[in-house]
Amino acid sequence: MIVPVRCFSCGKVLAGMYDEYLQRIRKGESAQKVMDALGIERYCCRRTIFAHVDLMDEMLKFPRQ
C-alpha cells in the first residue's frame, strides 16, 4: 500500500530511493540499470522495490466507515 520504508529481509532503508526509481522507470530505463545506479544490489532489496504495488490511490476512492 505505502512505499516500503525498509527491506523486509535485511532492513536496508529503501523509501528514499523509490520515487527516483519510479521516475526513471517511467522514462524508459530498465529496472536493472536503475537499481544498479541507486545502489540496490541485494536480491531481497530488489524484490521489495520491484514487487511493490502502490495501491494508495485505489484505497482513497473508498470512504472511511
Q: Which of 36, 65, 64 is nearest to 50 (CA)?
A: 36
| The pTM of the whole model exceeds 0.85 | no
Q: CA dihedral defined by 24, 26, 10, 58, rounded to 10 degrees? A: 140
Could you report the per-residue pLDDT of 11-62, keeping only the tens digit for each?
999 999 999 999 999 999 999 999 999 999 999 999 999 898 888 888 888 8
**Per-position DSSP letters for 17-42, written without gaps between them:** HHHHHHHHHHTT--HHHHHHHHT--S
Complete domains list, the chain, with CATH: 1-65 (1.10.10.60)
- Place 63 in a pLDDT band, splitting at 50, 70 and 90: confident
